[in-house]
Chains A and B, each alone.
Chain A
């Protein structure tokens, strides 16, 4: 599956340098960096505090993390577009490659695999082989069934995509922390929003 999508990107990125080189270059030369473990610890402290606050009602924790991510995503997209100056994507396939090879690369220095396309090409999965949010994390028994530890990522993607007129659902379908084989995020495009007032501008 992922090999298939890679070929799509090669053709769509076409004559320009590949998105991968592009993302790598920005990461290398245009990105101020901080220690990944600090990032991991900070996120961990936040999640752990949420679990305490909601008395281990992990569904509520999930939605708070999602909401937090959304609020980051709607602003992060500005930074992303400013740094990459990428044009609008022609297809969801291209979007998926930009997310994986540019966005994830630039912000988290990882490149998730894109795959599991739906038949009508309106949904795909991101497989995170590495996840800087969840290094060191071992979920307690009670959390392993309900908590999506990295749920903030779904909110970030949802918020960021919304700002470029893509109405998407984003959710986790699997997580190695919960004993899964892989860490898989699902992105489903509902519709392209046209001529609407961007959200947040009341």
Chain B
């Protein structure tokens, strides 16, 4: 495994990069907070959808009970609160959890697929036909896609140059607001899981839109990891480092 050196590209490229950045800054904007909330709220939403769908399949008596329930519930019209939905996730069975994660992956996939087209269409100096190989596509994910979506680049990209990549984000934004202690309980670990599935889908979506689109060709798994010592700030706080392991089958 060698460090592929994200930062070590040279001047002419940097100039174009800067131009591109200026161009991006001139584009229409919305508030970042609301975007973060929207993205994170996809998780409770996916759980809520699952509840609603499983509930739908129940028999008539179940329906009746549920109707009664909802009449008694204070906020029946608003659906369940986000934190309650997250608790429901823990209580859900394996199949349901899988479906919830798939749902989130799908959202990420579509986002990635479309976002990459938009980024490439707009004068992006980081990608050109000539070197649209897997490594440059991954660098595109680490730099451009991550920067767009999470406001920062991937901190470290490692590869064996044979289709295995580790994308390390030492401060994964979506879980930044979570107040968690070090030594996560199993439950807390589990709660964070669904928040990692949107970017997994997104990575696959970007790759698919750039030619790595065969069924099962790309897999992506995310895990919480310990950051390198240098990055570890105050002890006792949860560090929010995530490793995205991307496997791409490249048949030549």
Contact = CB atoms under 8 A, between A and B. Distances in A.
Interface of A: 27, 31-39, 41-46, 48-50, 52-54, 60, 63-64, 66-68, 70-72, 74-76, 79, 106-109, 132, 155, 158-159, 199-200
A76 B82 CA distance: 13
A191 B42 CA distance: 31
15 contacts: A31-B32, A33-B30, A35-B28, A39-B30, A43-B38, A45-B108, A46-B42, A46-B107, A49-B110, A50-B45, A64-B79, A70-B79, A72-B37, A72-B41, A107-B31
Overall SS of chain B's interface: helix
Contact of A67 (B34, B37, B79): B79
Contacts of B149: 38
A42 B45 CA distance: 14
Contacts of B30: 33-34, 36, 39, 107-109, 132
Contact of A34 (B35, B41, B118): B35
Which size bracket describes the interface of B in this complex?
35 or more
Interface string B224-235: 000000000000
B19 interface: no
Interface of B: 24, 27-35, 37-39, 41-42, 44-45, 48-49, 52-53, 74-75, 78-82, 103, 106-108, 110-111, 114-115, 118, 148-149, 151
Given A39-B35, A53-B53, A159 B42 contact: no
Contacts, number: 128
Contact of A76 (B24, B34, B39, B53): B34
Contacts of A39: 30, 34-35, 38
A36 B114 contact: no
Nearest to A105: B31
Contacts of B148: 34-35, 38
Contact of A107 (B34, B41, B78, B107): B34
A132 B44 CA distance: 23
B103 to A, nearest CB: 6
B51 to A, nearest CB: 11
B41 A79 contact: no
Given A41-B111, A46-B107, A68 B45 contact: yes
Q: Which of A49, A63, A74 has the most CB of B within 10 A?
A: A49
B151 to A, nearest CB: 7
Nearest to B27: A35
Contacts of B107: 45-46, 49
